[in-house]
Amino acid sequence: MRLVSGVYLVVPVTYTCPSSLAGSIFTDQVQVTVIENTSKGLARGTGGVGFQHPSFNGIGFGTHVICDDSPHALTVNVFPSDPLGFKTGKAVATGFISIRTFAFQQFSAGSEPASIKVQG
């Protein structure tokens, strides 16, 4: 995990979703939360990437995730939600993915908290 200009984190994410969802994704979201114990308290932040098909309300955005039963990588920018900010050192991260299809199928999964190293 990389700290950019002392401001935000670039977090690599690996996800896998079932091929049964391929070709029918209506919306998806990949979210990461990072908590770091700094000398002044806990620094927290959440970031995510997502996709919305334009048939929802005429406004589409993002690129949908690839669902083919194989692992895929992407990056998520995580900005601190408080003035403490992130520093180099150890932190804890969790991740979550949520997908909805045109056929009203829903898939979601989350990760266990993982110890990570923040590098400048």
Q: Which domains occur in the chain, in start order?
A: 2-118 (2.60.40)
- Separation of alpha carbons 56 and 49, rounded Å: 17
- pLDDT beneath 70, residues of the chain: none
Query: Global pTM?
Result: 0.91
User: Environment class of residue 90 by beta-carbon count within 10 Å: exposed (0-12), middle (13-18) or buried (19+)?
Assistant: exposed
> What is the predicted pLDDT for the residue at 62?
95
> What is the predicted pLDDT for the residue at 34?
98
Phi, psi of 21, deg, nearest 5 = -90, -10
- Separation of alpha carbons 46 and 27, rounded Å: 19
- Separation of alpha carbons 96 and 49, rounded Å: 11
Handedness of CA 30, 105, 63, 52 (dihedral sign): negative
> What's the start-to-end Cα distance of the chain, in Å?
9
